[in-house]
Structure 1
Amino acid sequence: MVEFAYTAIDTQGTVIRGTLEAESEGAVLTILRRRGHIPMRIGAPTHFAPTRLMCGLTLRRPDLRRAELAAITRELAVMLGAGQDIDRALRFLAETSVRLRVRRVMEGVRTMVRDGRALHAAMGHYPGSFPRLYLGMVRAAEATGDLAPTMERLALLLERERALTSTVQSAMIYPAILTLAAIGSITLLLTTVLPQFTPLFTQNGVALPASTRMLIQAGNWLSRDGLAIPPILLVLTLLGRALIHRAPLRLRVDRWLLALPIAGPLIGEILAARFARLLGTLLENGVPILTALAIIREATTNRAAIAAIDAATQNAKAGYGLATTLEAAKVFPARMVHLLRLGEETAQLGPMALRAANIHEDQGRIAIQRLVALLVPAITIIMGLLVAGIVSSLLLAMLSLNDLAQ
């Protein structure tokens, strides 16, 4: 008998984890199904953390990036749709990939599939590469025999998520560069330009204005202790993240972020687009609503959204509609809630969720453009005001020197 670790969804739609002793993974699969559970992943038990070097670094096998996962999913969808069997499709991916980690993962999955394991079970041995949502949809597709259409839906899901993430990251590049340029310019003025005038003021005994004295002290401090700022910021960031990740505080922070004037609507649109896309994709793939909500909960990081999903799950078990609970939570935009209610009333929840996802992805892009349009001039104005303040302080000191000369 061998001990296996498993992740499954129970009859109440809750994600459960545990270990079982059995002769093979197939036996574990049979036991879980007899209990009414939906297996998500079966593999070797993880009693120990990943191997660590003496310096504290963690040795981990390389995982697929989301862009790589989207690419191989699209290729699998194309090949399976063209009538290729899964073994030939996996071999093609393993042989043609230019990245070593993709080849290793595909070769490992193909080897386990050739040994008789199900595709989702083989992929489950690489949890860092294939998320639970992915494994759950592949498992459902293998049960119904609709693997090719499911891969097409997964590819579309991953590509849409990647496009939305890339839009956010690309939009933030210019404001980030502008902010760094502003910080660099002000630091240069305080540590290089301003000290050139300091001897002139001190040698002539000029009574410097308070603003000029403050700037000189700031420049001296930056020149002397400025290198300590990055480590201090790093420590404060790590401490802040550790505090924020505590459940009660994290929930308050996430709710506060959603209530912000400009960034809040953007976060809400992104949350709505992701929730609706996941819900629609899972329902269209034949996943029950409770199981779909459990999978979405695992893929969600915003604590306010998780609380709303938990409430929706409990009410769904009692027979209440999804839209009513989400509306009461006041986390997701009213547009998405209205479309989900319409889908429930017409028995078209999956298609309506996908339509809602398309709408909120477009609204998210508009919100990003609006945020960038506000950030760039705001940063420019703040930088101009700071530089003007430094220059005016120098001019005041020069005028004091001129008065002394007269």
Structure 2
Amino acid sequence: MPLFEYSALDARGRKRAGFVDAGTLSAARERLKADGFFVVSLEDAAAGKDDPSSRELSLFGRMSRKDLATTARQIATLLKAGLTLVQALEALMEQVEKPAVRKVLSSVRNGINEGKSFHEALAEHPSVFPPIYIQMVRAGESGGFLDAIMARLAVTLEKETRLRSKVLAALTYPIIMTLLGFTFLLFLFAYVVPQVVGIFSDFGRVLPLPTRILLFVSDLASRFWPALVAAGVLGFLLYRKLAASARFGPVVDGLKLKVPVFGRLALKIATVRMCFILGSLLQSGVPLLRSLEVAGQVIGNRVLNSAVGKAAMSVSRGGSLADALRAGAVFPPLVSRVIAVGEESGDLAGMLTSVAESYEEEVTTSIQALTSVMEPILILLMAGVVLFVVLAVLLPIFDLNQLVRSG
């Protein structure tokens, strides 16, 4: 039965909003009137994709990994409590605050009522539910243990969310400091310095080298700061375009892995993500080839994605996953060694989870060390620039003072 979203006023004039089941729009309106509501608006909760709330889902209301993990855990809890899947989805719809998300859940619920399986209904919203979500649900439905799979899916998504939060927290401070420092220096060289040191150009004497450098940089910034800002913005947009293109994207992703310090950290993060997801899919009963396909899609680096794809082709021909990854020479050697042990012992999923947890600890340690080093480096750089400006201003004053004394 279709689900309709309504906004109405009750008998006391208070605004109410929610959902109502009815066969048609007219039947929904009559049901609300019978309950004593004055209907303000009423529409199908699974409205088309072109409505504003659907655009809100894709732009501002999109379900984050945290939202997906919370949804999976709540579904698992409700299923264990004895509710049917449809009842669990209806209970979730009453809790979520984003209208567009409610519509997606309503669409999934309607698809199940129409005879579709849970994973088929989820697959109709690929921009909302990632491949790992759909494949693990598919495995849970096939095996008859959907509640356990949803709980495991929640754990997997929570681990990924925790990893992303660590990286974001580590990069936020350096990025903000860099942007503020750049803005401060641009303002300093474009407006402050010309007014302070401009008088030195009339001395008729050769200015000290630091002062001449400062005057040159200040003149350049004051004349061309709009061009400098525009060049920075265009450079960033060009980088985004090249990174998204099929031709240059793999080159950009390859260069990311070669950046000193950060490239190694990015490789470890991708390794954690790949091993966690691959291990979770295998533990859920998803076939190895399909698990490799899904894991490759979520790595976020086309060079590593290509390596996983080649490994999948080798496995499909009867080869070993460990040998295929070792031949690719992209992932850390420890990964292929641990996978080899897992293949020999028959516990590949467990070994993948273990290596993911090991590298997650390394990522945490590396991030903490990087943050502790970058903060003083940024402070020293800013202090160095300020010291240079001070020296460039004071040196001509000292020369003028000596000239006056000698005269």
Q: Would you call these one fold, judging by a TM-score over 0.5?
A: yes
Distance 1:51 1:222, change over 3 A: farther
8 Å CA contact 1:206–1:401 kept in 2: the answer is no
8 Å CA contact 2:190–2:225 kept in 1: the answer is no
Deviations 1:131-168 (A, max 9, x none): 12211221222222121111111111110000000000
Amino acid at match of 2:269: I
Deviations 1:17-45 (A, max 9, x none): xxxxxxxxxxxxxxxxxxxxxxxxxxxxx
Deviations 1:291-345 (A, max 9, x none): 1111222223212211211221121122111111212222222222222111101
TM-score normalised by L of structure 2: 0.80
Amino acid at match of 1:303: R
Distance 1:231 1:261, change over 3 A: closer
SS of 2:206 mapped into structure 1: coil
Residue 88 of structure 2 aligns with which residue?
A: 89
Of the structure 1 ranges 264-273 and 154-163, higher mean CA displacement relative to structure 2 is found in: 264-273
Report the alpha carbon displacement of residue 206 of structure 1 after superposing the two structures with TM. 4.3
Q: How does 1:267-306 map to 2 (within 5 A)?
A: 267-306=266-305
Residue 138 of structure 1 aligns with which residue?
A: 137
Unaligned runs of 5+ in 2: 1-48
Residue 129 of structure 1 aligns with which residue?
A: 128
Residue 250 of structure 1 aligns with which residue?
A: 249
- Quote the Cα distance in structure 2 between the aligned partners of 1:111 and 1:71: 21
TM-score normalised by L of structure 1: 0.80
Report the alpha carbon displacement of residue 170 of structure 1 after superposing the two structures with TM. 0.6
- Paired-residue identity, %: 32
Residue 74 of structure 2 aligns with which residue?
A: 75
Amino acid at match of 1:280: G
Distance 1:199 1:299, change over 3 A: closer
Distance 1:52 1:199, change over 3 A: farther
Deviations 1:158-193 (A, max 9, x none): 100000000000111222232233224323432343
Deviations 1:347-389 (A, max 9, x none): 0001111111111111111111121122112222222222222
Report the alpha carbon displacement of residue 247 of structure 1 after superposing the two structures with TM. 4.5
- Quote the Cα distance in structure 2 between the aligned partners of 1:222 and 1:51: 46
Distance 1:365 1:198, change over 3 A: same
Deviations 1:378-401 (A, max 9, x none): 222222222222221112222232
- Quote the Cα distance in structure 2 between the aligned partners of 1:392 and 1:96: 62
Between the two structures, name the one with larger relative contact order (CA 8 Å, sep ≥ 6). 1
SS of 2:319 mapped into structure 1: coil
- Quote the Cα distance in structure 2 between the aligned partners of 1:231 and 1:177: 19
Larger radius of gyration: 2
Residue 359 of structure 1 aligns with which residue?
A: 358
Deviations 1:98-153 (A, max 9, x none): 22222222122112212222111211222111012211221222222121111111
8 Å CA contact 1:201–1:401 kept in 2: the answer is no
Of the structure 1 ranges 369-378 and 89-98, higher mean CA displacement relative to structure 2 is found in: 369-378
Distance 1:52 1:108, change over 3 A: closer
Amino acid at match of 2:242: L
Q: How does 1:184-199 map to 2 (within 5 A)?
A: 184-199=183-198
8 Å CA contact 2:282–2:349 kept in 1: the answer is yes
- Quote the Cα distance in structure 2 between the aligned partners of 1:252 and 1:200: 50
SS of 1:96 mapped into structure 2: coil
8 Å CA contact 2:78–2:88 kept in 1: the answer is yes
Residue 99 of structure 1 aligns with which residue?
A: 98
1:266 equivalent in alignment to 2:265? yes
After superposition, the CA RMSD in angstroms is 2.4
Amino acid at match of 1:180: L
Of the structure 1 ranges 235-244 and 176-185, higher mean CA displacement relative to structure 2 is found in: 176-185
8 Å CA contact 1:323–1:337 kept in 2: the answer is yes
- Quote the Cα distance in structure 1 between the aligned partners of 2:328 and 2:362: 21
SS of 1:175 mapped into structure 2: helix
Residue 181 of structure 1 aligns with which residue?
A: 180
Q: How does 1:31-42 map to 2 (within 5 A)?
A: none
8 Å CA contact 2:325–2:336 kept in 1: the answer is yes
Amino acid at match of 1:169: L
Of the structure 1 ranges 117-126 and 236-245, higher mean CA displacement relative to structure 2 is found in: 236-245
